[in-house]
Amino acid sequence: MSEPLKIGLAGLGTVGVGVLDLLRAHEDLLERRCGRRIEIVAVSARSRKKRRGDHDMDRYVWFDDPVAMARSEGIDVLVELMGGEDGPAKAAVEAALSAGHHVVTANKALLAHHGTALARLAEENGVALNFEAAVAGGIPIVKTMREALAGNRVSRVFGILNGTCNYILTKMEDEERDFADVLKEAQDLGYAEADPTFDIGGFDAAHKLSILTSLAFGTEINFTDVYVEGIENITLNDIRYARGLGYRIKLLGVAADTGEGIEQRVHPTLVPIGSPIAEVNGVFNAVVVQGDFVDDVMLSGRGAGAHPTASAVVADIADIARGNAVPPLGIPADRLEKCTRARMRAHEGGYYVAMELPDRPGQVAAVARAFADENISIESIVQKGRAISRTVPLRDGETAEQTAPFILITHDTLESAMRAALERIEREGYCVGRPRMIRIERF
């Protein structure tokens, strides 16, 4: 029997304790599957006194400094679960790789900002850099794209990459509740942080999408090129109107090869009710990969949580124990191409637009003319609800005492044309306030 694989675990939060749970529960099973034992020998965390379930921390060598543990000759693998794009996490991972130790991490922010450089460092030192848990929790999407779909040319990858946003949008639709109300519930349940900006602003999903883009298209990770919109401006009426038109709103991450560059975008999206991605609800994630020989492959499951994420972490450890080795990003780092950005204004698709129109003659015609002048074809127009009495200043100094919601769906058109039309509508005072635009994906 081979020597045990010795693990140094940096970070003993929810996921770290989940890893301890799994390794204890399946110690013998993993030994049979990997041909060697997997042993935690050292740990590091901010507090030594904090309880970690029923685990006895005195069993392990304790390091106050995770970088010192990463360099220690007593470990074979550093498991980094501290989080953060810089600071101790980055320093520890770099130290481990430089010392010839394998690394397993769940840190999507670190990879989104430094993934290409870290992959290069791992390859230079002949060690693994595994990160299945960094994207979509327990869903094995990294291994699927890097290995199982290696024979396919990928044209597009998209999915629901943030469980917090999916939970909020699902609750808003199912229970007819406002965004702020559901967000508070998500915070109370621990699905959202006290400061939820990272999740609801779309940045968490953008980190994950930048990693998937590299795996899909063989490019260097380029987080700064991701176009990002969050869900904070989605209203209950948007949810209702979309449902009435046959759509559901999801926060999607989409990466596609346009032929002129790689399009990377995260934003609320209308998807047809009945399509597989529309039926992924609650805290679940889903990722769809479109390959030329395999067509569409969809993986769905829990995208976060202690045990699903721990499952992905331990799968990466098991690969190292078995001696399975592949380039971290699927292609050797020196062969990765620069990620050429496709302009967002060149994006083409359908759009949902919602606005409040003064209830007076000529307003609808003025809006229609603004779209026609940009060669935008309107698929459907819906005026929902009754006019509401209010006093609103208009461009010409008049006041409108009645406004009514006005909803339209366009056929596929260029985003540049949509933005030009909406800017004109707002500038010319055809609507009250700003029109809201949500992109449509007709899967």
Which residue shows structure tokens 């009250």? 432
Which residue shows structure tokens 């980190």? 207
Q: Provide CB contacts within 8 A for 190, sequence distance 6+.
A: none
For residue 33, the tally of other CB atoms under 10 A from its CB is 12
90, 208, 250, 384: which one is catalytic?
208
Pairing of strands 129-130, 102-105: parallel
CB 254 within 8 A of CB 156: yes
Cα separations in angstroms, 205 against 155, 227, 229, 351, 370:
20, 11, 10, 21, 34
Q: Provide CB contacts within 8 A for 410, sequence distance 6+.
A: 350, 351, 353, 371, 376, 377, 378, 379, 418
Pairing of strands 77-80, 61-63: unpaired
Strand partners, 32: none
**Of the candidates 114, 10, 182, 81, the residue with the CA atom closest to the CA atom of residue 328:** 114
208 is known as an active-site residue: yes
Cα separations in angstroms, 258 against 230, 289, 440:
23, 15, 17
| Residues noted as catalytic | 208
